[in-house]
Amino acid sequence: MKKRVAIICGGRSSEHEISCISALGVIAAIDKREFEPILIGISRAGALIHLQGSSEFVDGESGLPSVPDIASNLSFGNDGFLSDSKKSIGIDVVFPLLHGAYGEDGTIQGLLEMFDIPYVGSGVLASSVAMDKTFAKPIYADFGMDVADGITVHEKDWRSNKSLEVAKVSALGFPLFIKPARSGSSRGTYKVKDSSQIETAIDSAHKFDPKVMAEVAITGREIECAVLEIDGRPQASVLAEIKVNPPHEFYDFEAKYLDGSTNFEIPADLSTSLTERIRSAAIAAFSALGCEGLARVDFFLTEDEKIVINELNTMPGFTPRSVFPMLWQATDKSYSELITQLITSALQRSKNVIR
Ligand SMILES: Nc1ncnc2c1ncn2[C@@H]1O[C@H](COP(=O)(O)OP(=O)(O)O)[C@@H](O)[C@H]1O
Ligand SMILES: [Mg+2]
């Protein structure tokens, strides 16, 4: 019997379209001899929609695919998903291909736990901790890893005493980074060079998240590692170096998705010993947060070879040209094999939250 795999995509976060592109990639590449894919979209308004096929995506504002903004025709139930006519759409496992809030942050994972439905990737706690960098950073530090020094600027403190917050942020020194605690795709992230730029940057970042971080800018190379769980053990891929080209000063939204100016060097040009240190750090970060299934772990490597962890993504971009699949392709797994491995791990894992 083929396993029925619900691929959930879209969602309420700013990464809606990237999630739809990831879903198109998975639908095309999933091994149809073993799996029967079922496409489920979450509209920007949060409606759950059973899509008959990928042709039902519509073009979003940016011209990228998007889940149509129609009324929900699906609900959750003990037998999996229920259609409008209360007919059960039986599924064996869910691949929640959602990025950012209401998807990568433990919310959908909680819903699936409630209904005892196995799913790909990390559980509730690891997903939500990884999503909020202010919670993840002290855990990495506790496990002996280097993180960028910084402070959190809550919107309510900002509103009540801006000059005090500006003074605290300035004390970090310049340049520094202002960024939302729980965003993605570099949205709302700013490099700030002097105190005159702090106010605009924090106001802009607060549009994405009431919790904003100010961090010392780390000067170094950006290195990423893809971690995949195989038979219960996390394995690290080869490494990628993200090479951002001028005029971009860092890996911002345009550099990530729009102007094609970023190069990925895979494998990264690093000594064997540095490569091994970073791969071990990626596995250590995965284990520190209690991740499952997969994660992409992003680091800075400074001139004096200090490895500073920046963040861990529990559902990284998953289009065939995204870093995670490209890293595994360069290691030993095709995109299609990767999908099979993720689903296999999800089905092997205990369904119980109290593992
Ligand atoms: N402390 C920092 N020092 C140097 N660069 C940073 C720092 N924080 C963020 N950046 C730059 O901004 C980019 C996006 O920040 P990141 O924290 O990874 O947010 P996102 O979750 O949106 O990817 C990073 O890839 C890096 O180029
Ligand atoms: Mg990042």
For residue 157, the domain's CATH number is 3.30.1490.20
pLDDT surpassing 80 at residue 322: yes
239, 297: one domain: yes
Residues 232 and 187 in one domain: no
From 14, 7, 18, 99, select the one nearest 54 (Cα to Cα).
7
| pLDDT of 257 over the 80 cut | no
What was the pLDDT predicted at 351? 57
Beta carbon of 286 within 6 Å of any ligand 1 atom: no
Average pLDDT, the chain: 93
Q: Over 70: is that where the pLDDT of 105 sits?
A: yes
Q: Is there a single domain that holds both residue 136 and residue 285?
A: yes
What confidence score (pLDDT) does residue 84 get?
Answer: 78
Any atom of ligand 1 within 6 Å of the Cβ of 43:
no
Relative to the CA of 298, which ligand 1 atom is closest? 18
Cβ of 104 closer than 6 Å to ligand 1, yes or no, is no
What pLDDT sits at residue 354?
Answer: 54
State CA 166 to chain mean position distance.
30
Q: What separation in Å is there between the alpha carbon of 344 and the centre of ligand 1?
A: 32
- Burial label for 197, CB within 10 Å (0-12, 13-18, 19+), is middle
Segments forming the whole domain that contains residue 110: 3-119
pTM for the complete prediction? 0.95
Q: Looking at the structure, tell me whether residues 200 and 260 fall in a common domain.
A: no
Q: Is the pLDDT of residue 355 over 60?
A: no
Question: In the predicted model, what is the mean pLDDT of residues 240-258?
Answer: 88
Please give the order of strands across the beta sheet that includes 88-89: 74-77, 80-83, 88-89
Residue 353 has pLDDT above 70, yes or no: no
- The total of structural domains in the chain comes to 3
By DSSP bridging, strand 176-180 and strand 211-216 are antiparallel
First to last CA, the chain: 27
Quick one: which of 22, 18, 4 has its CA closest to 338?
22
Task: Report how far residue 175's alpha carbon sits from residue 179's, in angstroms, rounded to the nearest whole number.
Answer: 13
Q: Is the pLDDT of residue 150 over 70?
A: yes
In a domain, 125, yes or no: no
| Residues 89, 25 within the same domain | yes
pLDDT average, residue stretch 142-154:
98
Pairing of strands 65-66, 74-77: unpaired
What mean pLDDT do residues 305-333 have?
A: 96
Whether 217 is in the pocket of ligand 1, judged by its Cβ within 6 Å, is yes
CA of 31 to the centre of ligand 2 (A): 30
Q: Please identify which residue in the block is written with the tokens 């992003």.
A: 298
- Residues 192 and 300 both lie in one domain: no
